[in-house]
Chains A and B, each alone.
Chain A
Amino acid sequence: MKALGIDIGSLTTKVVVLNNGVIETSCVVDSDDEADTSAKVAVARALGQANINLNGDYYIISTGAGGKATSISQKSKAISSCLARGIYHLYSSARMGIDIGAESGIVFKINERGKLKDQASHDKCAAGTGVFVKQMAKLMQISLEDMSELSLDAKTRPEISGTCAVFAESEVISHVHRDPPTPMADIAAGIYYSIVSRLMALCKRVGIEKDVVVTGGVAQNKGLINILEQELGFKVLVPDNAQSIVALGAAIIAQEQIEKGAK
């Protein structure tokens, strides 16, 4: 029996197939409007790619925004549970994870058995998410990549009032139009710092513990990671290809279910 994990996001659907704890295959497809269709297409594609025919001899855990809307899985699980498992699989030293996605930032802790121990998130706040980073880059009229690179040269971090995306916007504009204008590098660092600070508040609420793994789209932003590391006072781990990490975690939960004797 094989363990499958499916992460059905609003944009892409990811599948990971485990065979006795080893990744056999994985794939990413664009999501369909119907979560159930996405799941079926993705599973068919993954199995096809690996050229395996399971004849129904598999256990599937689904997760993600559409995780509950599919009939293909035996169970659906929360993203954070899967994320914790996925991260632990890659780094058994991980005790804390920070996931910064497009619309949410979440901090969680992982116990020594690789399971979710605690979590905290900002729910009703755009500031501190990927959308916010994009918004700010747009305001500064530079690309995300340039902003990230630039920030590494910052000399200072100007105060960007980060309580709210709206306030932050007017702060950034005033820095750009200041006479003389605040250097772009510093503004970029200031913006990242305001995001990091919000994440740090969450980290401190649950208690910081090493190692820290950062995932989500924003994890690829070197400038932001740099400032996060400065604030934490140590290096964080960023998986190279973290896109399927949630699906991996789901597959691990599926594996656990199989081991428990689930049918």
Chain B
Amino acid sequence: MTSKTTNRIESIIKACSVILRMIKARPNVRKSEQVYYEILTKYFTRIRDVKQNGDFLAAHTVFFPTEILYAMNIVPMHTESTTWMTALFTGEATELVTAGAEAGLASEICTPHRGIAGAFTIKALPDPDVMLWSNLICDNTAKSGELIMELCGCPGYFLDHPFQESEQERNYLIGELQGMIDFLQDQSGRKMDWDKLSQLVAEMDKQIKLNREICELRKAVPTPFSPQGFLELLTLDYLFPGQPEATLYLETLRDELKEKVNAKTGAVENERFRLMSLFVPPMYLMSFLEKMSHEFGAVSVIEPFFTYWADGKLDPSKPLESVAQKSYMIPEVQMYGPMTDAKIQRVSDLAKQYKIDGAVFYADTGCRQTCALIKLLKDTLSEIDIPMLTLDSDVVDPTMMSQEDIREKFEGFFELLEDY
């Protein structure tokens, strides 16, 4: 057990090395999985060694334009991912949430964000040089920065992401991004390398296309991608957008899936239920859910708000505009902004295109803005005769829902699908 005051980054690196050893020992494991854990190792090693390398560390919230940090040679630390990966590997979820509560955050605040404040309070994460945050995607992200600035004694920049997509709003966002660059130049003494940003944008555009190809491949019956593998796609864009390693991962994965589709082999031996996942499953149950998927032949084949990128293209000759453009294309951001009829229709269209049998909505107790869509999505899917399971859960707190509870709910749902 790590002591109460040291940071836990090392625990992620160690866990990744163990996983990598296991992957290498088993010949039939996906090559992309190996690339994935190598990426994680690289990401967290950089954070661990930030001081000794004389690097500048920027903590930032989810759906953040990390490309800008990479272009400025600043080390990013994704607060949500870093906090909860340490919790996953140290088993300290409850401690982090409690520490967040002790820092003054009430139960109104979702556990992921209470835990982040907790992680900084007990110094489980290194103090960043700056704190960066935006209002993507909810009030919790919008409000998380100032307390962290206070806890770490660092300056910060709030990136105000406009609510809708008018031209004025896009310009506002570009102004906000420029403001952040100015702030970072001031604070870090590092200069923005615009050529590098252009390269990153070009690479990112490639990655979005790869993501689309991967989605397309997953349409196949049986579907080729591992049941809960979509979380890798999420994490990749959280941590390594526009990086060559991310492209390598996506290309490797795409080729693997292609091969499977051609060979007509599915991710599970006997594909019985094709699922649409709405919102994120509890992180601490991933391996359990993976096992259960194989047992029941149930695979998530499409996640409209997590893996399905919205239309659009990035232009390397306009790097800052493209960074702004990307933020409108991120799958999760489709939940932001007004929930228009077109967005709702898209869910319904995807359900048909991917030949969905049922949908699963992971109702995270702390996530208000997503849960508010449960009825709307349920009604939408029921119009095309697709049942939706609503699973009360918590994305990080293991005390909320046990494996047995989840299993029981799923079994009931699979029975329902069988009879449907």
Q: Which residues of A contact B (CB under 8 A)?
A: 77-81, 113, 115-120, 122-124, 205-207
In contact, A81 and B375 (Cβ under 8 angstroms): no
**Interface residue from A116, A120, A122, A123 paired with B415 (Cβ < 8 Å):** A116
Main secondary structure of the interface of A (DSSP, over half): mixed
| Among candidates A116, A119, A124, A207, residue contacting B419 with C-beta atoms closer than 8 Å | A116
Q: Are A119 and B392 in contact (CB under 8 A)?
A: no
A117 to B413, CA, bound (A): 9
A205-B374, A205-B378 known; A78+B412 contact, CB < 8 A: yes
Q: Which residues of A contact B374 (CB under 8 A)?
A: 205
Question: Is B401 close to A, CB under 8 A?
Answer: yes
The answer to whether A117 and B387 touch across the interface, beta carbons within 8 angstroms, is: yes
Does B400 belong to the interface (CB within 8 Å)? yes
Contacts of A116 in B (CB 8 A): 412, 415-416, 419
User: 28 A-B residue contacts at CB 8 Å?
Assistant: A77-B415, A78-B412, A78-B415, A79-B412, A81-B416, A81-B419, A113-B419, A115-B416, A115-B419, A115-B420, A116-B412, A116-B416, A116-B419, A117-B387, A117-B420, A118-B382, A118-B387, A119-B416, A123-B405, A124-B365, A124-B392, A124-B400, A124-B401, A205-B374, A205-B378, A205-B390, A207-B379, A207-B382
Chain B residues near A81 (CB-CB < 8 A): 412, 415-416, 419
Q: Bound complex: CA of A118 vs CA of B416, how far in Å?
A: 8
Residues of B within 8 A of A119 (CB): 412, 416
Min CB distance A238 to B, Å, is: 23
Does residue B408 face the partner (Cβ distance < 8 Å to A)?
yes
Q: Which of A78, A205, A207 has the most CB of B within 10 A?
A: A78
CB distance from A79 to the nearest CB of B (A): 8
Say how far A119's CB is from chain B's closest CB, in angstroms.
Answer: 7
Taking the nearest CB of chain B, how far is it from the CB of A170, in angstroms?
Answer: 18
- Give the interface residue-count category, chain B: 20 to 34
Chain B 390-420 per-residue mask, 1 if CB under 8 angstroms from chain A, else 0: 1010000000110001001001100110011
Chain B min CB distance to A10 (Å): 14
* Neighbouring A residues of B382 by C-beta, 8 Å: 118, 207
For B401, the chain A residues whose CB sits under 8 A away are 123-124
- Chain A residues closer than 8 Å to B405, beta-carbon distance: 123
Inter-chain CA distance A122–B409, complex, in Å, is 12
Known pairs A80-B412, A116-B412. 20 more at Cβ < 8 A?
A78-B411, A78-B412, A78-B415, A81-B412, A81-B416, A115-B416, A115-B420, A116-B415, A117-B420, A118-B382, A118-B387, A122-B392, A123-B392, A123-B405, A124-B392, A124-B401, A205-B374, A205-B378, A205-B390, A206-B378
**How long is the Cα–Cα vector from A109 to B405 in the complex, in angstroms?**
21
Report the Cα distance A118→B412, complex, angstroms. 10
Which B residues are CB-close (under 8 A) to A118?
A: 382, 387-388, 416
| Chain B interface (Cβ < 8 Å from any Cβ of A) | 365, 374-375, 378-379, 382, 387-388, 390, 392, 400-401, 405, 408, 411-412, 415-416, 419-420
A123 to B365, CA, bound (A): 11
Complex Cα gap A79–B411 (Å): 10
Closest beta carbon of chain B to A228's beta carbon, Å: 21
Instruction: For the complex formed, measure the closest distance between the CB of A101 and the CB atoms of chain B, giving whole angstroms.
Output: 14
Cβ of B408 and Cβ of A78 under 8 Å apart?
A: yes
A205 in contact with B375 (CB, 8 Å): yes
A117 & B392 in contact (Cβ 8 Å cutoff): no
Tell me the minimal C-beta distance from A66 to chain B in angstroms.
Answer: 12
Residues of A within 8 A of B415 (CB): 77-78, 81, 116
Within 8 Å CB of B388, what residues of A?
118
Return B389 CB to nearest CB of chain A, in Å.
Answer: 8
Bound form: Cα–Cα A207–B382 in Å: 11
What residue in chain B is nearest A118 (Cβ atoms)? B387
Give the shortest distance, in Å, between A75 (CB) and chain B (any CB). 10
Q: How far is the CB of B35 from chain A (nearest CB, A)?
A: 38
Contacts of A77 in B (CB 8 A): 415
- What is the CA–CA distance of A129 and B310 in the complex, to the nearest angstrom? 43
B390 contacts which chain A residues (CB < 8 A)? 120, 205
- In the bound complex, residues from chain B placing their C-beta under 8 Å from that of A120 are 390
- In the complex the two chains form, what is the Cα distance from A117 to B401 in whole Å? 24
Chain B residue contacts of A79, Cβ below 8 A: 412
| Chain B proximity of A85: nearest CB distance (Å) | 9
Which residues of chain A are near B419, meaning CB under 8 Å? 81, 113, 115-116
CB distance from B392 to the nearest CB of A (A): 4
A46 to B28, CA, bound (A): 52
Q: Closest CB of chain A to B365's CB: distance in Å?
A: 8
The interface residues of chain A lying within 8 Å CB-to-CB of B365 are 124
Chain B residue at smallest Cβ distance from A125: B392
B363 CB, nearest partner CB in chain A, Å? 9
Task: List the B residue with the shortest CB-CB distance to A80.
Answer: B412
Leading 8 A-B pairs by shortest Cβ distance? A78-B412, A115-B419, A123-B392, A81-B415, A116-B416, A80-B412, A78-B415, A78-B411
In the bound assembly, the distance between CA atoms of A170 and B230 in angstroms comes to 46
Distance between Cα atoms of A10 and B375 in the complex (Å): 33
Q: What is the minimal beta-carbon distance from B166 to any residue of chain A, in angstroms? A: 34
Q: How far is the CA of A242 from the CA of B186 in the complex (A)?
A: 73
CA separation between A42 and B59, bound complex, in Å?
A: 61
Which residue of chain A has its CB nearest to the CB of B401?
A123
Q: How far is the CB of A9 from chain B (nearest CB, A)?
A: 14
Chain A residue at minimal CB-CB distance from B399:
A124
Give the complex CA separation of A81 and B418 in angstroms. Answer: 11
A-chain residues with CB within 8 Å of residue B420 when the two chains form the complex: 115, 117
Q: In the complex the two chains form, is A117's CB within 8 Å of B375's CB?
A: no
Contacts of A78 in B (CB 8 A): 408, 411-412, 415
Report the minimum CB–CB distance from A21 to chain B (whole Å). Answer: 18
